[in-house]
Structure formats: C-alpha cells, structure tokens
Amino acid sequence: MTAEGKMTVTLKDIAEEVGVSPATVSLAIRGRKAGKKSLSPGTVEAVLKAAKKLGYRPNMLAKNLASQSSMTIGVLLSSLVFGSESFLEGVNMVLGGEFTSLLSVYNRDAALERAEMEVLIGNRVAGIVAACSGDPENLQIYKDVSQTYNIPIVLYSRRMPGIKLPVVRADHFESTFKATRALQELGHKRIRYAGISFSKWIETHKLYVEGYEAAMRDAGLENEMRGAVKLGVKDWVKAPNVIAEAANILDTWAADRERATALLVDNDWLAYQVLDECRRRGIRVPQDLSLMSIGDYRFSALSFVDLSTMRVKGEHPMEMMVGIGTAELLRDLMAGGKWDGNDILLPVEPCMRTTTGRV
C-alpha cells in the first residue's frame, strides 16, 4: 500500500532511508534512553518517522535469536476441556501483557507431551507453565528444561515425580476434608466419596481420598467409611464415559446394605452427571441423597442446579485462580526470583447450596 513495493522492511532499509547505520536504528527504535548511551533526539525522531513511513515491523525471530531471549511462554495442557479456557484466562491476566503463549496440548499422551516440550524448548520460550502427565518416561525432558536450558517452569495441579519443581494447585486434601466435614455438620454419618484417577502418576485422587478419610476418622466415623468408590483411569472428558461412571457410582450406592446419605464426588461435571442419573432413577436430591462436589463451576450456581460444592477462596473460579497463581509464580521466576521450595496450595472453602440437606 505504501509507495515502496518491498515485501518486508528491515532495519537496514530504515538505516539507508535515514542515512545512519542499522545499529543506530536498532537503538533508536528500542528507545535506548536509560542506559549510558543515548542518541540525539534528532536521529531518533528521524528513525521513528522513517520506520512509520516504511511500515517497519521488527522480526521477532531475528530479535530473539540475536538477543537469546524471547517474549513467549509455553503453556502445556494435558487436554482442552471445560475449565481450560478459564485457566488460560488466568495466565493471560497475569502474563498476557508482556508475553504471548505458545499453546501445547498433549491429550494425556506421554510421547506427545515430550514432543510438545521439545517444541517449546526449540522455540526458546522464556518460561513454561505445565500440567505434566507425571509419567517418569518424561522425567528427563523436565530436567533438561529446567537444568540444561534453565527455562523457568511452574507445574500446575500436579507435581512431576523425580524432580523438585514448583507446583501451584488447589488444596486437594483440604477440599475433601472440609467437604466431608461440612456434610457431617449436616448430620451425615454415612458419607461416601467417589473420584476418578486419571493416571497412577497423578496424586490428586490420592489426596482427595486422604482428605476424606481423615475427616471421617476425626469424626470417629471410620466404621461408616466403606472407602472411596474407586473409578478407573478414564478419559472422563467424553460425556459417555462420565455418564457411565455416574451410573456406576449410583449402582454401587444402591447396592449398599446401608445406603450412604451423602455422596461427595470429584468435580462438578461428574456431579451433574450424577444429578442427571438420579433424576432418571427417581432418586430425590437431597431427600434421598445429598450430593456435593468440588470445583464450583459457573453452572453450579444456577438456581435449577444449585450444587453444593467446594470452591477456591477468591473472586474467581478455581481454574482461573490456579492459572493466576501459576502465572504469578512464573512471572517471579522469570524476573530472576528464587522459588522458596514450597508448593503453593490455594485455600478452599465449602459453598453449600441445595443439593445437600440435613439427614
């Protein structure tokens, strides 16, 4: 559109136009003010004018290559599911201003996870936020990232066994502990927990179970505790599977000689499925069964859902809070900060609505 027909205008083009050297243009454009060196206002102005005129656009590839740095961060997700958008928004709120995210998704495939990590390394990202699979096969690449390439990395939701990397997550143990306690306060004694374990490398499920069991023991209810319903390792993201799990959970519940009066499940989406299944089976909630879960998805607050659930304290949904926390830590690390060695556990609190009632 401009007079020049040149495809892409470079620093050199500007240099020629203005009659200075490329180096000077480089300095002028980046506003080399603060440092020791400064350019004459006249030159700077001339350069800027020419840049505008020629439609100059810095080539970040060249810039990054030369400066050995980049304004890109890598975001590695295990999958794109409901909640991912919220997590990404959290990350974006904190880091979006300065950095752009390279989004990598490995769909719970450890080999793909490695490949995606290679891409992030290859692009020399300034930092990484990752939901690792935890598969020990991939330990080496996490070591490479943080040790060989010195790329700051923050894990979210779960740790990588074998290497001490900072983790930011909701407090899983407290989630089931407090939820169970909240149910107890409503008079429930026969409380069951049902959760899904994604993979044996991820400790989330274990922490949930521990929190539940601790609360039951504390209340002297170990006799009432038939243990958590153990669900298989599945990709529950796909609706059909979850529906099957909900049916499974209710079958187990119904088969009990002494049916539980309250059921605590893994996450809100699973709770929706259970609610759905209860409706089909004519099980009244909360009269016949109190239902509680973890996550407080936005839907749960709708009056026709009104699900009792655990939420992360703060003004945002759980996933976003985790995204914010993760990004904040990464921001600090990229700025040269040191990690104090402690995982960051976001505090949770119960949010009791109408799917739970007194016994």
Partner DNA sequence: GTGAAAGCGCTAACAG
Partner DNA sequence: CTGTTAGCGCTTTCAC
The site string for its own copies over 96-115 (x = CB under 8 A, - otherwise) reads x---xxxxxx----------
Q: Which stretch binds its own copies (CB under 8 A): 43-51, 187-195, 257-265, 274-282?
A: 274-282
Burial of 30 (0-12, 13-18, 19+ CB in 10 A): exposed
What is the total count of residues that contact its own copies (CB under 8 A)?
61
Strand locations in the chain, DSSP E? 72-77, 100-105, 127-130, 153-156, 167-170, 191-196, 229-231, 262-265, 290-294, 308-312, 344-346, 348-351
Residues 135-174 that bind its own copies (CB under 8 A): 140, 143-144, 147-150
- Picked from its own copies, DNA, none, the partner binding residue 359 (CB below 5 to 8 A depending on kind) is none
CB atoms within 10 A of CB 181: 19
**Contact pick of 62, 111, 233, 359 for its own copies (by CB under 8 A):** 62
Asked if 83 interacts with its own copies (CB under 8 A), we say yes
The three-class DSSP label of residue 290 is strand
Asked if 37 interacts with DNA (CB under 7 A), we say yes
**Contact pick of 80, 111, 233, 254 for its own copies (by CB under 8 A):** 80
The 8-class DSSP code of residue 299 comes to G
Tell me how far, at minimum, the Cβ of 16 lies from DNA, in Å: 11
C-alpha span between 198 and 168 (Å, rounded): 18
Asked if 147 interacts with DNA (CB under 7 A), we say no
**Contact pick of 23, 71, 80, 233 for DNA (by CB under 7 A):** 23
C-alpha span between 145 and 138 (Å, rounded): 11
The torsion angles phi and psi of 76, rounded to 5 degrees, stand at -105, 120
**Contact pick of 61, 111, 233, 254 for its own copies (by CB under 8 A):** 61
The 8-class DSSP code of residue 99 comes to -
Report the interface residues with DNA, using CB under 7 A. 8, 10-12, 19-24, 26-27, 29-30, 37-40, 42-44, 56, 58-59, 62-63, 65-68
